[in-house]
Amino acid sequence: MTIRLNPYLSFRDTARSAMEFYHSVFGGELTMSTFAEMHASEDPAEADKIMHAMLVAPNGLTLMAADTPNSMDYAPGGSFSVSLSGDSDADLRDYWAKLSEGATITAPLNQAPWGDTFGMCTDRFGINWLVNISAAS
């Protein structure tokens, strides 16, 4: 059973610079995908924005980030989400059920375009959660 808990930070237009900085601080492997590469926006102004970045440090620390699309509100004080991901379907569905009780569901737990099961909610305390259950191999 594999489950990871790691922060997912949001930026407006500086995710690339921020993640390159964190890479210089923590080392490890940094991967980044743009909105254009992921076919996630039809707005040419967003083509080079980071849709997903992930830094995995040698000590196991994992940090993820993305740029917030222009069409979405961006509040620097609340610009983070906590991401739970793994292949333990039962455990992650249980976490989702508990986290989403009394929450605002942003994206119901459903199959995502990348094949996994994915959901987003803001819990009753205002914390943003992303749950991703890896597709069976």
| Residues in a beta bridge with 55 | 30, 63
The answer on pLDDT for 61 being more than 90 is no
Structure pTM?
0.67
Confidence of residue 2 (pLDDT cuts 50, 70, 90): confident
Q: What percent of the chain has pLDDT over 90?
A: 53
Q: Number of structural domains, the chain?
A: 2
**Co-location of 97 and 59 in the same domain:** no
Helix, strand, coil share of the chain (percent; to 5)? 20, 40, 40
The answer on pLDDT for 33 being more than 90 is yes
Q: How many angstroms separate the Cα of 128 from the Cα of each of 83, 84, 104, 133?
A: 9, 11, 9, 17
Domain C-terminal end among 78, 110, 127: 78
Q: What is the CATH number of the domain that holds 59?
A: 3.10.180.10
Question: What is the pLDDT, as a whole number, of residue 101?
Answer: 92
The answer on pLDDT for 80 being more than 90 is no
**Co-location of 73 and 101 in the same domain:** no
**Co-location of 51 and 88 in the same domain:** no
